[in-house]
Amino acid sequence: MRAVVQRVLRARVTVEGEEIGAIGPGLLVFLGVRSGDTVQDARYLAEKIAGLRIFADGEEKLNLAVKDVGGGVLVVSQFTLYGDCRKGRRPSFTEAAPPEVAEELYRAFITAVEEQGLKVASGRFQAHMQVELVNDGPVTLLLDSSKLF
């Protein structure tokens, strides 16, 4: 499972002109699910992301986590995080989990983030979405559960 995590001042996702999820200050998480990922991957990444100390404290040091600053988390499914661009010009997505598996693990991730005591908004699985954000910093991190535990 891969996550691109961005610290944001605000972010929102719309589908067909309708806003379906939005947060103020917090984290925007683009989440990709790989074939072979499990609920353990989802829980591990959720705990890792909830605890990332990437918000400034009173001394401007990155010592606080999203839960410490009362921030929200916007989770957006993005299978293209498993796009393989090594051959040719069109990415291959063979590493991405099939939709029925990916959706279950996407929802497990959202639940695991909520269990960390965080306010969570989300995109719509398999929908064509427009994502707007104001990146803060910018601070952007890439996490991959296969490399974390």
Residues annotated as part of the active site: 78-80
Tell me if 102 sits within 8 A of 2, measured CB to CB.
no
Apex CA 78: angle with CA 74 and CA 82, to 5°? 140
- State residue 136 phi and psi, 5-degree precision: -110, 105
Tell me if 24 sits within 8 A of 71, measured CB to CB.
yes
Q: CB-based burial of residue 36 (10 Å sphere; 0-12 exposed, 13-18 middle, 19+ buried)?
A: exposed
Q: Beta strand 2-15 with 18-23: parallel, antiparallel or unpaired? A: antiparallel
